[in-house]
Amino acid sequence: MKVLNNFNFENKRALIRVDFNVPLNDKFEVTDTNRIEAAKPTIIKVLEDGGSAILMSHLGRPKGERNPDLSLKHIVNAVSDIIGVSVKFVGDCVGDEVEKAVANLKKGEVLLLENLRYYDEEEEGNEAFAEKLSKLGDIYVNDAFGSAHRAHASTTIVARFFPESKCFGLLLAKEIDAIEKVMATGEKPVLAILGGAKVSSKITIIENILDKVDDLIIGGGMTYTFIKAQGGKVGDSICEDDKMKLAMDILEQAKQKGVNVHIPVDVIAADAFDANANTQIVDVDKIPDGWQGLDAGPDTLQNFKKVILASKTILWNGPIGVFEMEKFAKGTIAVGNYIDEATRNGAFSLVGGGDSVAAVKQFGFEDKVSYVSTGGGAMLESLEGKTLPGIAAIIA
């Protein structure tokens, strides 16, 4: 794998694709600096070698227009504070003004380019636009895992102009290693915990990982499609009736492959989708009409605990209940605690995918698991077995 540490950046300009698509408040202040902090080690390595760094990123969806609200100038101070270097900014990402700013860049300096998506050519993967970007650096570094599933000019096409001098940044290399551990090299038993509302959004992941895992925990809203498919009563719980055959097929495939599937046996049911609803603990296949399952029950959590603590490699994608409401967050918190314990006992744990990452951050598990992925869509496509264009471009 072509990684950052294989290169010496002395007197070199590193053209680094970062993922600084960060949230801003109405005063244009960065409200979550995680993505900037994640890119820091790569930038520091370049500067400590005696090189300079040119950072390129998108922000939001300006759709080829110069929306001043989505200018990367708003994040310059936050980037400067986190990296510890006064970051320069140029109000474009290609053209004479940019080339002049790059030419004046000294070793140890950092230049942030304007929002790449001010140009339609970025998302179109336009080769001429990518070539203009390529003229700005001596070595191309892709450190934007969150955008690695997009074949955009700055994430994929630009790499063609650096046949020998391209590499993964430290963050992207860590993401690849983490997924590799779950999908290929992890110590057995390997466990996947899949939650969330719909079976339909997880089909390709489930089908791809059945060959790689020993145990599969199904939680969250998709539980009820599996239960109803097996003849259970799910009341008013979320259920994809048109996916019941698929649920049965998945259970059959798992059986043939020797994968143990663990589905909730009891749930916390509510008489409304409401934080103040009345609740009761019921068997998962005997939910009364007018009631809906919104979290895992105590017997289920005891079953899950045994499986999690017996596992050596754990993937967690998707919450176990409606964790946004305190009353229905216990299952997700419990699973986080079990994964924390398993990790302390030597297991490797990877959390990825939007809602599970949000839950991990909300309940303070970020530092208690082995790795939290920074890329939602990219992470999911990796788990589906797809080769991401941004990764393929560096390996090529």
Instruction: Return binding residues for (2R)-3-phosphoglycerate.
Output: 35, 117, 150
Burial class (CB in 10 A: 0-12, 13-18, 19+), 184: exposed
Chain-centroid distance, C-alpha 14: 25
Q: Which tokens is 6 given?
A: 């294989």
Note whether 170 and 9 are within 8 A (CB): no
CA-CA distance, 136 to 154, in Å (whole number)? 12
Mapping DSSP to helix (H, G, I), strand (E, B) and coil, where does residue 73 land?
Answer: helix
- Beta bridge partner(s), residue 268: 281, 295
Q: Please, how many CA atoms are within 13 Å of residue 232, restricted to the half-sphere of its CB?
A: 26
CA-CA distance, 129 to 148, in Å (whole number)? 18
User: Which residues make up each annotated binding site?
Assistant: 19-21, 35, 58-61, 117, 150, 202, 293, 324, 353-356
Q: Which tokens is 349 given?
A: 């744990």
CA-CA distance, 13 to 132, in Å (whole number)? 15
- Give me the active site residues, please: 35, 198, 354, 377
User: Which residues make up each annotated binding site for substrate?
Assistant: 19-21, 35, 58-61, 117, 150
Would you tell me how many other CB atoms lie within 10 Å of the CB of residue 354? 15
CA-CA distance, 114 to 133, in Å (whole number)? 12
Find the helix or strand (DSSP H, E) in which 112 lies: strand 110-112
Give me the torsion for CA of 355, 228, 191, 182, rounded to 10°.
Answer: -60
313: CB partners within 8 A, 6+ apart: 181, 182, 186, 187, 188, 189, 190, 191, 347, 348, 349
